[in-house]
Structure 1
Amino acid sequence: MASARMVGLFAGIGGLELGLGASGWHTELLCEIDPGARGVLAHRFPDTPLHPDVTRLRAIPANTELVAAGFPCQDLSQAGRTAGITGTRSGLVDEIFRLVRRRRGPRWLLLENVPFMLQLGRGAAMRHIVDALEELGYTWAYRVVDAQAFGLPQRRRRVLMLASRTEDPRTVLFGEDAGIRTVGDPEHDPCGFYWTEGVRGLGWAVNAVPTLKGGSGLGIASPPAVRLPSGEIVTPSIIDAERLQGFEPGWTASASTVPGVREGHRWKLVGNAVSVRMAQWVGGRLADPLPPLPGQQHLVPGTPWPVAAWGHNGVAYRMPLSTWPVHEPYEDLREFLTDARLLSARATAGFLRRTTMGNLRFPPGFLDDMASHLDRMGGWAA
């Protein structure tokens, strides 16, 4: 497609902008409040104006055709405070609508967030967004999409919501559906999990890592771990994490040069980022729309929000779609990790201690592998 103009709000480290850019979208303005993320954006998009605070941004450029926004998910995620759409962070989505309203609406509006937003407040968060979009005259559609569909060995499901005043967003999000597929065997393939868990959950993923998380607000990293078929337990480096999100190695290195930003903060930036390949898929479908697949059914008000839906003027429909729109060639986790390190004895011991504090059930042989790994790392004394 010919170059089209977009704005990136809550831009993070530029996942949406980078992915859409592959289809010809040119970013005219970026807005991001996190100093480390701004350091990355300034380095990676040096010719793009960068604004630090969406609440003080008066307007977006008049020629904007698409506004992309991975708005904050802290109040919407299960890992966060779940304060809801009115929380101090996720409530910032209303700033998007304020800016869109002032320009009488760009042609496209693309939002990204965590799937838990569909459940929060019994669907109130989504209803708030849908009502705002319809008030602005938009037809909306959303779909929960998994980054694994695009070949990345990270189980990462996100809500992609696309709205337009002039086009049919279904032709972008609902034109293809490949169906969920099995990408590994726990008996023979690496399995990802969170070594920081062990009491209430594990995040177990076969031939993939579980969803990368932002980690501590203090800049303390929270990487996952991987049990290799050999029984060794490793943890990806920040370089691997960047690649798991579709970025090139070292994409966030410039964040560490910002005064007051710790090296561990890069994990938060990567964990909060939008998958580049996911954004590339949207960009590709914007450039080459497809007729929406059949099977829509009326969505009764008050029922749970499904995996995919669309609506306009107060009427909504569910779509029978999976979280895998395509089957891109899958990159096996064992070959993907190029800079993994052995999980430390301290981290392994801490995990094994936590497993005794709850009633969580573990895959066969997993705790034996953890104990053997601890022995190889020097045991409890180490």
Structure 2
Amino acid sequence: MVGLFAGIGGLELGLSEHGWRTELLCEIDPGAQAVLRNRFADVPLHSDVTRLRALPADTELVAAGFPCQDLSQAGKTAGITGARSGLVDEVFRLVKRKRGPRWLLIENVPFMLQLGRGAAMRHITDALEDLGYTWAYRVVDARAFGLPQRRQRVLMLASRTEDPREILFAEDAPPEVVIDDGAHPCGFYWTEGIRGLGWAVNAVPTLKGGSTIGIASPPAVRLPSGEIVTPGITDAERLQGFDPDWTAPATDALGVRQGHRWKLVGNAVSVRMASWVGNRLADPTPYVATNESLLLPGQRWPTAAWGRDRVSYRVPMSTWPVQAPYEDLAGFLDETRLLSARATAGFLRRTQQGNLRFPPGFLTDVENHLDRMGGYPEVAA
């Protein structure tokens, strides 16, 4: 396999658990490059996908978690033709030149399904079909694999010779519903509070990449005791399925701040999500179409769909392909620290500026936490 836009190697690491051997990596971020050089020491690493001339001759799978900055709600939403996300066309260029990989695996944020009223997805599916691929995609939640992070991503699999439906649609499980009864820790973003919160029961909300200059943006967690804590970077790595300190080599790169590790983790592909794909590739299941319906041009892209030759079908699938044993957030975090008085006070001020509704007792817990942390910080005159 080949990993394009490899980040810190989440797709490659997960697929390797099922026999896939990485022959080439491509990644432009200096911190991510340092991680890849350390963790995939024997694999050739290229820095610029636009200058990569060809894929290795024996490539069977191309994995590409292409940049999502122009696709995400948190980003510029410039679309598939944006300067960063438009790089997905480089994947098609390389695959066209190679004319051989059995599989193409693409990962990105669910907002790509909505962007431009579906234009981003249509651009990708049209390009795949022009290259002779049958494609399928499914929105998948990391919680399905036991990780206490509410993180949904689009997994798209395409092939010229195989049926991707036998991989992505072979399993389906009912999502686990956890009642917010105060007995579970709940994750939220203390940097929000006016228009959003990211509230997640017994999970953290989707980990973010943080700022472009390396300022970390970790979530917070309200514990049943009322304390407000934030996870550390090794907790974040584990929430993505990596070993603790997987991104530690990033700080060896010149000019890379410690906080940049949060960006690398926030932009990464969950290892367990990739491992599930690897497991399915090793054991495809004959697909029987049930309750499919024609997806007409202009209709919203659903949670799961497949298509070829300009004909697409929606497939009734949940975002939980499996229901792995869940790791409760209360016992998962190992590196927490109390949310500071300054951060807590800033969050409370923002909640007073908007009209958001908050879970019962939540703001009282935040106010009590601020009191325990010494109250509102003094502002210098």
TM bracket, shorter-chain basis: over 0.9
| One-letter code aligned to 1:27 | T
TM-score, normalised relative to structure 2? 0.98
2:315 aligned partner: 319
1:332 aligned partner: 328
Residues 53 and 118 of structure 1, relative CA distance in 2, 3 Å threshold: same
Matches within 5 A, 1:233-312: 233-292=228-287, 294-312=290-308
2:152 corresponds, among 151, 157, 176, to 157
4+ long deviations beyond 4 Å: none
1:360 paired with 2:369, answer no
User: Is the CA contact 2:342–2:377 (under 8 Å) kept in the aligned structure 1?
Assistant: no
How far apart in 1 are the matches of 2:52 and 2:68? 20
Structure 1 residue 295: Cα displacement: 2.0
Structure 1 residue 291: Cα displacement: 2.5
How far apart in 1 are the matches of 2:248 and 2:278? 26
1:93 aligned partner: 88
Unpaired segments of 5 or more residues in structure 2? Answer: none
Matches within 5 A, 1:211-230: 211-230=206-225
1:3 aligned partner: none
CA deviation map 1:157-188 (0-9, x unaligned): 00000000000000000001002121453421
How far apart in 1 are the matches of 2:181 and 2:258? 33
How far apart in 2 are the matches of 1:182 and 1:225? 21
How far apart in 2 are the matches of 1:41 and 1:53? 14
1:369 paired with 2:365, answer yes
User: Is the CA contact 1:30–1:50 (under 8 Å) kept in the aligned structure 2?
Assistant: yes
CA deviation map 1:222-264 (0-9, x unaligned): 0000000000000000000000000000000000111100000
2:53 aligned partner: 58
How far apart in 1 are the matches of 2:110 and 2:360? 30
TM-score, normalised relative to structure 1? 0.98
How far apart in 1 are the matches of 2:46 and 2:318? 37
The alignment of Structure 1 onto Structure 2 pairs a total of residues equal to 377
1:14 corresponds, among 4, 9, 13, to 9
Matches within 5 A, 1:180-199: 180-199=175-194
How far apart in 2 are the matches of 1:88 and 1:168? 32
How far apart in 1 are the matches of 2:205 and 2:295? 31
Matches within 5 A, 1:18-37: 18-37=13-32
Structure 1 residue 345: Cα displacement: 0.5
How far apart in 1 are the matches of 2:80 and 2:287? 30
Unpaired segments of 5 or more residues in structure 1? Answer: 1-5
Paired residue secondary structure (2:158):
strand
How far apart in 2 are the matches of 1:291 and 1:206? 36
CA deviation map 1:294-332 (0-9, x unaligned): 221111121000000000111111100000000000000
CA deviation map 1:48-97 (0-9, x unaligned): 00000001111110110000000000000000000000000000000000
How far apart in 2 are the matches of 1:38 and 1:76? 23
How far apart in 2 are the matches of 1:179 and 1:90? 32
How far apart in 2 are the matches of 1:330 and 1:77? 27
How far apart in 1 are the matches of 2:335 and 2:228? 13
How far apart in 1 are the matches of 2:191 and 2:207? 12
Q: Percent identity?
A: 78
How far apart in 1 are the matches of 2:301 and 2:50? 29
2:97 aligned partner: 102
Paired residue secondary structure (2:22):
strand
1:138 paired with 2:139, answer no
2:162 corresponds, among 151, 163, 167, to 167
How far apart in 2 are the matches of 1:146 and 1:188? 23
2:376 aligned partner: 380
How far apart in 2 are the matches of 1:185 and 1:358? 23
Structure 1 residue 278: Cα displacement: 0.2
User: Is the CA contact 1:7–1:30 (under 8 Å) kept in the aligned structure 2?
Assistant: yes
2:205 aligned partner: 210
How far apart in 2 are the matches of 1:263 and 1:255? 8
User: Is the CA contact 1:156–1:211 (under 8 Å) kept in the aligned structure 2?
Assistant: yes
1:72 paired with 2:67, answer yes
